[in-house]
Chains A and B, each alone.
Chain A
Amino acid sequence: MAHGISKAAAELRRAARDPVLLGVILLVAGSLIVFVLYPLISVGAASLDVGGGKTGLGVYRDVIRSAYLRKAFYNSLMMSTLTALVGTLIGFLFAFAVTRAKVPLSKFFNILAIIPIVSPPFIGALAIIMLFGNNGLITWNLLKIQNFPIYGFNGLFLAQVVTFFPVAYLTLKGVLESMNPVLEDAALDLGGSRWKVFTKVTLPLAFPGIASSVLLLFVETLADFGNPLILAGSKFPILSVQAYLQIVGMYDLPKGAAISVLLLVPSLIFFYAQRALVNRRKYTTVTGKPQQSTTQIVSPGARIALFVFCLFVALVVGLIYFSIVVGAFAKVWGFDHHLTLDHFKFVFGVGFKAVRDTLMIAGIATPFAGLLGMVIAFLVVRVKFPGRKFVEGVSMLSFAVPGTVIGIGYILAFNHKPLALTGTLAILLLNFVFRYIPVGIESGKALLASIDPSIEEAAVNLGADSRKTFSRITLPMILPAFFSGLVFAFVRAMTAVSAAIFLVSSRWNLMTVHIMAQVESGNLGAAAAYSLLLVLIVAAAISLIRVALKSQYSKYGGAMLHF
């Protein structure tokens, strides 16, 4: 204990030699406390508020006694578990087909699986309503079924699997790609059949990745808000939506807060289980050329089966985007499919304020989130200071905490002085900046860890202070991580809905929230037009950042990849 204190004192003494650095550390730690921890604490405190200035577990008792909310809890856990398992299965087969079996059209499948990731998370739900809803293209126009029961389990399950299987795909693609194909060759060489090789070598090697993907999907599905708000319906309650309805519909803050806590606890458990799993896995650094193998690792029959499977998944994803595109141009979806630009006239006319606001908010929040992510990654990896673990832990929290919980936390924490921010631009910006730093931090940390610290020491040794070292040496070296942080922050800021829905106001509104409102009022065409515009903006922005990164890479002559 005593030596812990003396260590902290020594680290402080060292930090004090560099006032700029000390200031940055204090600023980062302070703002993490205020904008990440404090809202969560507010949620906890509000859930214990039993009225009359007293605290107790009364609200939880009410929540648990309510059969409806118990059902919501059960439904949420069940949906998350199912989606996690099925989504991972589809993601694995897709990744295996693309990376290992090398089915035809691999490149196309790869792009197709990435599109949902950069789309608003409720686009699946919107398309499903358009395809299978009361006026659905398939159910009503083709099959003439009225009131097809798409609301509830069926629709939501489909929407969430479509939304989240790409996350599993990306995770497992990385895992399968980093696996040395020579291992499989060796197993074949030793006389294993292809099926034996798959079950005894490939699958066990991929298992930590698969388990990690299941846990990750569970956390993301549990936090999902847009899909259940559109599709769950009143007979199939889901926790995140119930928390929202308690607050926005019933103005019952304590109950909404208590439901949030019930949502938060399993999220945190599964999130930390996933982290532990990932951290236990040994990282193999990729050096030199990736290992190549020409062996066909699957039999021709299996390859065809995988190809057909991929085609089917592609068909479902394609159908979703097809219906969004067509819906955006169709006069009245389900009744009058004449092409029209009316919906876009609406979007660019009356509804354009939301577009402008969204672009502005995402435009401001993105560079801040990107830069903050790099600063935190730098502090955590390179600087020794007391509370380093705390800063790292808190900055990663927003990965684990469902947006609904954060949104409720923000309205609870920042509706009174000294930080009366509700209804302002600032509250949206702060929420986006602090919520969307983790990807930047993670990739920044990984990249920094692979860079020899003596490169930065050399700069300091030559007379650079900490600010110069960071801007001239560290940041340029971790530029790829900075850009991936920027992309993530921008995509999320453009497509976020779960936390933002609590924070928008008449002064500052977002496209996503507008789309939800259009869906609720049955105006599917306008919703589709908005969604299409949103996806196009995000795609354009990503391409732009890609091009910028490419030009940087060529400027560095690929040097950064080697260090």
Chain B
Amino acid sequence: MSVRLVNITKEFADPEREGGKLVAVRDFNLEIQDGEFVTLLGPSGCGKTTTLRMIAGFEMPTIGEVWIGGKNVSNDPPNKRDTSMVFQSYAIFPHMSVEQNVGFGLELKGRPKAEITREVRQIMEVMGIADLAHRRPDQLSGGQQQRVALARAIVNRPSVLLFDEPLSNLDAKLREQMRVEIRRIQQTFKITSVYVTHDQAEAMTVSDRIVVMSKGQMMQVGSPFEIYSRPANRFVADFIGRVNLLSVTVERLEQEKNIVRGTDGSRYEAASAASGVAEGGKALLMVRPESLSVESSAGAAPAAEGRMAFAQGVIDKTVYLGATVEYEIDAGYERPILAVSHDPVNAGFWRTSDRVVLRYSPRAAHLLPPESE
């Protein structure tokens, strides 16, 4: 079912702060479609978990409304809301078996015993934990507990499935496996899902849409592609992946072809621009490291079709990672330029002190509004 957050502000009493309160979420508006998977992404303290807990009903908004499936549930307690949550710590009941844990929600709903057993069996089958039915929680591994928590949430067929950083306690390999698993399960049951994480790769893997938050405010909502390639501002660009930014002045804004000039007068082209970028004003030119090619500056090797020079400089640092090589290039700017090249076995790689030119395709360049603060 759809979820609607209308004008939500959440304040907590905090005598140590100015005004005696902490504003955890401010003027938050979001509409989630039926069956959609939306992730709230942001650094810790950005208000994402508070937002999730307001949907579940554990927190009540100071101002604003929560709607689930066309019904205003703002004043309903958590047990009256048709949401199921997967907790960061899994919150498996330690005194119940796996089977009892999974069946607890259905039992509370007063379903007949036979039906509960059937549903529980079925969901444990789907989650691949059927053989753990009679285990005690302390006999489970982290990954198994995670699956039990997920099964316990899904078996109720809730209107909304809520995930509070569910993978943060797993090791890296299991985490990648579970991301895919969560996405698969959600697609199978088509349950509207809200997912909280601070891990951008996780957010990119599971989500239909990502909401980036900072200091209680929404920074951008969009598909993983939009968030990564067309960020709305510097915070989003920085938070999701690494980025190269140049200060520029906007000369001309045109569909798919925006012309800007660098501080030294060089001309750049960018295919897209965020709102807030205006002709004649300042802007930031953004190119991700993997979109920069590192080429020899010696001789006059002609640029490939449509590629433009981004900067010239000297390789300052080389980090060889096997699949990729990462370079830091001193191009005379305050911060070094980052570039990543793939497949070093075939492409070869540069060494420290080599003089290089960095080229980009305007398709991969994006303009951000200048920093206001």
Binding site for B on A (CB under 8 A): 3, 6-7, 10, 13-14, 17-18, 452, 454-455, 457-465, 468, 473, 476-477, 556-560, 562-563
Contact = CB atoms under 8 A, between A and B. Distances in A.
A8 to B, nearest CB: 10
B114 interface: no
Contact of B94 (A18, A455, A468): A455
A476 B94 CA distance: 9
19 contacts: A13-B60, A17-B77, A18-B77, A454-B89, A455-B92, A455-B93, A458-B85, A458-B87, A460-B58, A460-B78, A462-B84, A464-B104, A473-B93, A477-B95, A556-B94, A556-B95, A557-B139, A559-B137, A560-B95
Given A461-B85, A464-B79, A464-B104, 9 more contacts: A10-B13, A455-B92, A459-B104, A462-B79, A462-B108, A463-B79, A558-B138, A560-B95, A563-B137
A473 B92 CA distance: 11
Q: List 3 tightest A-B contacts by C-beta distance, closest first.
A: A462-B105, A458-B91, A563-B94
B79 A461 contact: yes
Contacts of A18: 77
Interface in B59-98: 60, 62, 75-80, 83-85, 87-89, 91-95
Given A458-B85, A461-B85, A463-B108, A452 B91 contact: yes
A61 B335 CA distance: 82
Contacts of B128: none
B94 A462 contact: no
Nearest to A4: B13
Contacts of A457: 58, 78, 85, 87, 91
A458 B79 contact: no
Given A14-B60, A17-B75, A452-B91, A7 B13 contact: yes
B40 interface: no
Contact of B87 (A3, A10, A454, A558): A454
A279 to B, nearest CB: 20
Interface of B: 13, 15, 20-21, 56, 58, 60, 62, 75-80, 83-85, 87-89, 91-95, 104-105, 108-109, 136-139, 152, 156
B158 to A, nearest CB: 9
Nearest to A1: B20
A454 B79 contact: no
B75 A461 contact: no
A36 B139 CA distance: 45
A13 B87 CA distance: 26
A464 B152 CA distance: 14
A462 B104 contact: yes
Given A462-B105, A463-B105, A557 B93 contact: no
Nearest to A456: B91
A347 B13 CA distance: 62
B86 to A, nearest CB: 9
A464 B84 contact: no
Nearest to A2: B20
Contacts of A459: 93, 104
Contacts of A6: 13
Nearest to A452: B89
Given A17-B75, A17-B77, A562 B89 contact: no
B85 A557 contact: no
A558 B93 CA distance: 13
A14 B138 CA distance: 34
A462 B91 contact: no
A13 B75 CA distance: 10
A460 B93 CA distance: 12
Contacts of B94: 455, 477, 556, 559-560, 562-563
A482 to B, nearest CB: 13
A13 B59 CA distance: 12
B108 A468 contact: yes
Contacts of A463: 79-80, 105, 108-109, 156
Contact of A3 (B20, B108, B137): B20
Contacts of B138: 557-559, 562-563
A463 B91 CA distance: 15
Contacts of B137: 559, 563
Nearest to B105: A462
Contacts of A560: 94-95
A468 B105 CA distance: 12
A23 to B, nearest CB: 15
Contacts of A10: 13, 60, 62
B157 to A, nearest CB: 12
Contacts of A7: 13
A14 B74 CA distance: 11
A172 to B, nearest CB: 31
A6 B84 CA distance: 31
Contacts of B152: 458, 462
Nearest to A6: B13
Contacts of B156: 462-463
Contacts of A13: 60
B64 to A, nearest CB: 14
